[in-house]
Structure 1
Amino acid sequence: MMEPLARFESHVAGRNARVVVWPDRIEWSQPGRTKVANVLLVILAVYTVGITLLFRACRPRFKEQGRQMLAMRAVQSVAAQRDGLHTAVAVVAGATTISFRVPHGQAEQIEALVRDLVLGTHPAAPR
């Protein structure tokens, strides 16, 4: 089984996300509501509006709201730029640019890892 090369928390599109860098792809997922949040929604629904909101709140929720993936072979460039208290590592693939906001010290490592995987110079890069 292949192991991820890096895991980190980031802001992607203005929301918290868990990012995992694999030798052949970058995956990120945004957490959804937890069971505690669902219970609070049920209590609020019963207390306020009633049965309609209760049914909406009881729908099954997943721990991950969404998962996205970007194949490393589609990446055209990677760059880092300071963004306030963080550094944005921008990964460009076609007309899409994904920015991962990470702490300054972590940004250089992530940028170098993605760049080496794209260029094929990383030992784990697919041949």
Structure 2
Amino acid sequence: MEKDLTSVPRNDYHRPSLMERNSTTPISEWNDSIDGLEGGTSDHAIRCHLPSPKGTKVSPLTKYKPTKITRSRKTKRWSQLEEETRKTAVDKFGRGKWKLMLDSNKDIFKERTEVDLNDKWRSMTRYGCK
């Protein structure tokens, strides 16, 4: 047996919009005036007047100023002298003493860093060239 849905009363409740004004809601306004308070004054000369942030117009494009852009160094091939010096320095000072090797052979490793020496050692040991 089917129910007749046309006889069931429908709820015609109107849901109020959030944008509509609700007359039952109490409304109060904030009064930040210091007039009428103890020690208060209406003298505008004594009040602190701060500059409005609206007066300063700053373009968002000029806010960010990158500091110093560092570019990667160009790859420089190892000379035969550099490879031989690095090999003898590893025999003399031991593996891992890259700073000591670099400082003792500054004239040969002019444009090299400790990391360069380490990378060269690692790549040469990987391929069996020590």
Same-fold status (TM-score > 0.5)? no
Q: TM-score, normalised by structure 1?
A: 0.25
- Greater Rg by CA: 2
Determine which structure has the larger strand proportion and give its number.
1
Q: TM-score, normalised by structure 2?
A: 0.24
